[in-house]
Chains A and B, each alone.
Chain A
Amino acid sequence: MTDPTAATGVIGPAPAVDAAAAVTAGARGAARRRRALVWAARLATLVVVIGGWQLLTNAKIVDRFFWGQPSGIVSQLNDWARHGTAYGSIWLQIWTTFKEAVLGFVVGVAAGVIVGVLLGQFRFFSEVLSPYIKIANAIPRIVLGSLFTVALGLGIAAKVSLAAVLVFFVVFFNAFQGVREVDRNLLNNARVLGASRRAITRHVVIPSALTWIIASLHVAFGLAIIGAIVGEFLGAQRGLGLVIATAQNNFNPDGVFAAMFIIAVLALTAEGLIGLLERRLLSWRPPSQAEAAAA
């Protein structure tokens, strides 16, 4: 297939080549038309939803006092960008929330992976701890936010802790399961080849569990943002959660939606970064699986 003579020396019957070219060109054209159609439909959906909302609130069918209005949200965003919020510039609020979410995410992921991999490998500990883990997983952990706010104060620590706890469990369960699902053949093969316990963990167990761990990261970052926002709701001096709480207290639905929009942009950006990481770390996977995951 890489032999140059195959490309230059052997010339197939010309009509067949033309026909093949026509088929591929046709297929490419069809794919392009389909993509254009999908994008047009997406745009139309956006116009209908946002436009409908705007029209309904303008016509007073829906009360904009309770449900906000797209134009109001835009002017609220504009206002924040120009004059800032009651707690300083909007960028400071965004940065604060982002910092809390990322720190919580990092701590939670690290703890989840370490504990998951350890418990996955040491059966005794996992048997001892499993009922407690089940209990801890069953309690609504978001309530811990109250505890953290009281114990750790209004600063960043309480939010990071809450985000980390939410992230921990998701990552932990996936890492644990991933370690348990390691192919026994691979383990036996590594043992016969003379691998030490540490080498097995490094070369077999962790790479194998990585598929599971990375799958959990998508959910985990969403939870980290929720943890940060709820933490700020419960008591903070700055941050998007505080901005939302203030908007709620002022009967300002546009403010709530505007903050929501900012958070969505934040979450989507992070999601994109995690997707990049996933493609990099899991590049060994057959493309069909990666495509299925991306779709």
Chain B
Amino acid sequence: MTVASTFARRRRTPGGTREGRGETGTARQAAQIELSGVTKRFVTPSGSMFTALRDVDVTIGAGKFCAVVGPTGCGKSTTLTMVAGLDRPSAGTVRVGGQTVDGITAGTSFMFQADALMPWKTVLANVALGPVFRGAQKREAQARARDWVRRVGLAGFEDHHPHQLSGGMRKRVSLAAALINEPAILLMDEPFGALDVQTKAIMSNELLGLWEQTRPSVIFVTHDLEEAIALADQVVVMTAGPGTVKAVYDIDLPRPRGAVQEIRFDARFLELHHQIWESLREEVERAYSRTTQGGRS
């Protein structure tokens, strides 16, 4: 599996090459995510109204990987916070697994663009936070965390603190911390945006490998269209702010996809990329001209 092919690792457990697939039993049932007529307005500090999202209608099937692309400031991150239940829509409803979101959505994990690791906790303690917060015994939480640290290829780094790790390694810790609760929904807000191209490709492969094991529904926000197509079942293109859904493309590339570095030379990939980019480009250009005009006035 892909995990084994990455950074040189130090093995801890003798014979510790146990395959990670499905050994922790069945994952929570993946849930369908449904946004209907979702509008989000903010009141700016100066008192004026700002509409971040307008009438967003989109449905993400249970266990599907959905990538959201769109120009900067089109409300992609806002969408995620509303699915997670960290924020409420001003109008419309967000439903997860048929239930309207009201409070923190159970069974959700969130991966932020910036590291959301506790700098004062070790890798192991950071990964163990999910089970600890859900009331697991410390020992059990640590055993599970140890397993997940190994699954993301960081065995031997359990006792390191986040500042001792590279950016890519910190992302692995975040990924393990997000997946340890076996979420029904995984929300990712440009999780690999800060990584260099090579590390990003490696992390994308690993994400796919891990996702295929537990199959949560994923919303993956990104700026990178290639990344979106390589990973997702469905690509949602958003308009320049106020954001709304411009188009939804089904990505019919077969799974398992294999290395993201190679799939981008596939003929079907190029075709899809061309199609979606045509649609996305208009929005990016509109957003760009708006910000430059705003800068002048």
Contact = CB atoms under 8 A, between A and B. Distances in A.
A215 B233 CA distance: 51
Interface string A28-51: 000000000000000000000000
A279 interface: no
12 contacts: A185-B114, A191-B104, A192-B84, A194-B106, A194-B130, A203-B129, A203-B132, A203-B133, A204-B118, A207-B121, A284-B121, A284-B163
Given A185-B112, A193-B129, 14 more contacts: A183-B116, A188-B84, A188-B112, A189-B116, A192-B104, A192-B109, A194-B104, A194-B106, A194-B133, A204-B118, A207-B118, A282-B120, A284-B119, A285-B163
Contact of B134 (A194, A284, A285): A194
Contacts of B130: 193-194
A209 to B, nearest CB: 11
Interface of A: 2, 183, 185-186, 188-196, 199, 203-204, 207-208, 210, 282, 284-286
Interface string B219-231: 0000000000000
Contact of A186 (B86, B105, B118): B118
Interface residues of B, number: 30
A189 B112 contact: yes
Contacts of B12: none
Interface string B95-130: 000000000111011101011101111100000011
Nearest to A1: B8
B161 interface: yes
Contacts of A282: 120
Which of B105, B122, B134, B177: most chain A Cβ within 10 A?
Answer: B134
Interface of B: 10, 81, 84-86, 104-106, 108-110, 112, 114-116, 118-122, 129-130, 132-134, 161, 163-164, 177, 181
10 pairs of A and B residues whose beta carbons are closest in the complex: A189-B116, A195-B133, A284-B120, A286-B163, A192-B110, A185-B116, A207-B120, A194-B133, A284-B161, A193-B130
A185 to B, nearest CB: 4
A194 to B, nearest CB: 5
Contacts of B133: 190, 193-196, 199, 203
B110 A189 contact: yes
A192 B106 CA distance: 8
A285 B84 CA distance: 31
Which of A186, A194, A203: most chain B Cβ within 10 A?
Answer: A194
A193 B163 contact: no
Contacts of A195: 129, 133
Which of A188, A204, A208, A286: most chain B Cβ within 10 A?
Answer: A188
A208 B84 CA distance: 24
A206 B26 CA distance: 36
